[in-house]
């Protein structure tokens, strides 16, 4: 459905490398996630696929159409929701939706079924100007506008950035329902916790793909035992852990530190607890935990 072969893209006359030899493909009906921090190159990839940017090297196709040669045909058929809220703020919800429906030679009524679940939530505010909507509402409206012409592929660039936790959850449920209708969805997000909601993900960092697989398999590749450690004095804990002779890596994660140790140590948990107690730590907590995508990302990033 979507295919990238060795795509590279630089800005500022080649001095800034944004996308570095990226190849992946997305199957029909798949919910594919591009996961990476800000500046990883997600938006550039989206813009290349939506024919807004030309790659420096490499080829890519969307629904079998070449992004350079057949750009007009691609533009007719895909749905694109840019990262920034890009609707007309001085137009009402309904006017925006009507405008984009007409733009794509369709009407709200014709594809109402497709957007119904989402639109129903913003319909009470349909006479309100888009600029006056809350962040979550804006994203829902933008999704409606991107969907109104029943696209075969939907490109969503960071749709949940700047949206509250509840709306984010709702948004992903909507994506799941859209997927069930057979729409191929490419979504990018900086939130690692959203990765598990995708069928397959590509972890991306400074323009390079670190790993592409299903979230489960990526997690499975993480074979070491991960520990979460906490104490009354977290700053001292970080310093003490870093000085510990069997430490492999240690980084803050929520209210804990996630810690990896060198493999060959027996009974590491008791050893570490004793070490930390000897350093005078109180309220110590240490659990072995399953890794998350973020742990995988950090591990891939540092190697």
Partner 1 sequence: MSLPEEQKEVIIEQKMKQFITFVKKEFYHVFRDRKTLLMLFGLPVVQIVLFGFALTNEIKNTKVVILDYAKDEASGSIINKIEASSYFEIEHSLLSHEEIERAFKQGTIKLAIVFPVNFNNDLLHLNKSQIQIIADASDPNTANTLISFTTSIISDYQKELMQINALPYLIIPKIRMLYNPELKGAPNFVPGVMALVLTLICVMMTSVAIVKEKEKGTMEILLVSPFKPILVILSKAIPYLLISFVNVSVILLLSVFILDMPINGSIVLLFAESTLLIITALSLGLFISTVTDSQQTAMMLSMMGMMLPTTLFSGFMFPIENMPVALQLISNIVPAKWYYIIVKSIMIKGLGFSGVWKETLILTAMTVFLMIISLKKFKTRLE
Per CB under 8 A, which of residues 253..292 are in contact with partner 1?
none
**Which of 1, 25, 59, 85 lies at the binding interface for partner 1 (CB under 8 A)?**
85
**If binding is defined by CB under 8 A, does position 86 make contact with partner 1?**
yes
| Cβ 43 to partner 1 shortest distance, Å | 10
**If binding is defined by CB under 8 A, does position 75 make contact with partner 1?**
yes
Letter string b/e over residues 57-76, b meaning 16 or more CB atoms within 10 A of that residue's CB? ebebbbbebebeebeeebee
Sequential DSSP letters for 159-192: TTTT--HHHHHHHHHHHHHHHHTT-EEEEEES-G
**If binding is defined by CB under 8 A, does position 56 make contact with partner 1?**
no
Which region among 49-57, 170-178, 204-212, 253-261 touches partner 1 (by CB under 8 A)?
49-57
Strand order in the sheet with 65-66: 16-26, 2-11, 57-62, 65-66
Nearer to partner 1, 84 or 217 (CB): 84
| Cβ 282 to partner 1 shortest distance, Å | 52
Q: How far is CA 99 from CA 95, 106, 118, in A?
A: 6, 10, 18
Could you tell me where the DSSP H helices lie in 35-111? 42-49, 71-77, 93-103
Sequential DSSP letters for 282-294: -S-EEEEE---HH
- Cβ atoms 86, 52 nearer than 8 A: no
- Cβ atoms 144, 85 nearer than 8 A: no
Nearer to partner 1, 87 or 218 (CB): 87
**Which of 7, 78, 118, 187 lies at the binding interface for partner 1 (CB under 8 A)?**
78
Show the tokens assigned to 172: 């992903």
Nearer to partner 1, 107 or 288 (CB): 107
**If binding is defined by CB under 8 A, does position 103 make contact with partner 1?**
yes
What are the respective helix, strand and coil percentages of the chain, to the nearest 5? 40, 30, 35
Which region among 52-60, 119-127, 194-202, 269-277 touches partner 1 (by CB under 8 A)?
52-60
According to DSSP, the residues that pair with 264 across neighbouring strands are none
Nearer to partner 1, 100 or 256 (CB): 100
| Cβ 207 to partner 1 shortest distance, Å | 17
Strand order in the sheet with 200-205: 78-81, 153-157, 184-189, 31-35, 200-205, 208-213
φ, ψ dihedrals at 63, nearest 5°: 45, 40
**Which of 10, 25, 63, 98 lies at the binding interface for partner 1 (CB under 8 A)?**
98
Show the tokens assigned to 109: 């009524």
Which region among 83-91, 186-194, 246-254, 257-265 touches partner 1 (by CB under 8 A)?
83-91
Nearer to partner 1, 142 or 260 (CB): 142
**If binding is defined by CB under 8 A, does position 16 make contact with partner 1?**
no
Which region among 71-79, 200-208, 234-242, 282-290 touches partner 1 (by CB under 8 A)?
71-79
Nearer to partner 1, 11 or 232 (CB): 11
* Binding site residues, partner 1, CB under 8 A: 47, 50-54, 71, 75-76, 78, 80, 82, 84-91, 95, 98-100, 102-105, 145
């Amino acid at each position: 459905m979507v295919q990238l072969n060795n795509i590279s893209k630089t800005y500022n006359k080649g001095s800034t490398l944004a996308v570095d030899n990226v190849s992946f493909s997305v199957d029909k009906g798949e919910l594919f996630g591009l996961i990476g921090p800000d500046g990883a190159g997600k938006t550039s990839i989206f813009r290349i696929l939506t024919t807004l940017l030309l790659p420096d090297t490499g080829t890519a196709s969307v629904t079998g159409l070449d992004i350079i040669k057949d750009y007009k045909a691609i533009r007719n058929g895909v749905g694109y929701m840019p990262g920034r809220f890009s609707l007309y703020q001085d137009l009402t919800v309904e006017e925006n939706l009507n405008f984009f429906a007409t733009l794509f030679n369709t009407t709200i009524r014709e594809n109402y079924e497709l957007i119904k679940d989402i639109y129903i939530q913003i319909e009470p505010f349909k006479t309100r100007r888009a600029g006056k909507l809350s962040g979550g509402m804006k994203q829902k409206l933008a999704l409606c506008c991107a969907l109104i012409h029943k696209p075969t592929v939907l490109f969503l660039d960071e749709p949940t950035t700047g949206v509250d936790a509840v709306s984010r959850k709702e948004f992903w449920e909507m994506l799941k329902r859209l997927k069930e209708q057979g729409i191929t969805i490419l979504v990018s997000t900086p939130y690692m916790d959203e990765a598990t909601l995708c069928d397959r993900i590509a972890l991306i960092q400074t323009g390079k793909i670190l790993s592409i697989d299903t979230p489960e398999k990526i997690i499975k590749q993480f074979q070491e035992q991960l520990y979460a450690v906490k104490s009354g004095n977290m700053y001292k804990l970080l310093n003490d852990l870093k000085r510990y002779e069997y430490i492999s890596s240690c980084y803050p994660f929520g209210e804990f530190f996630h810690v990896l140790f060198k493999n060959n140590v027996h009974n590491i948990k008791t050893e570490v607890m004793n070490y930390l107690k000897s350093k005078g730590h109180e309220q110590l907590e240490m659990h072995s935990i399953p890794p998350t995508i973020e742990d995988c990302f950090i591990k891939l990033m540092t190697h």
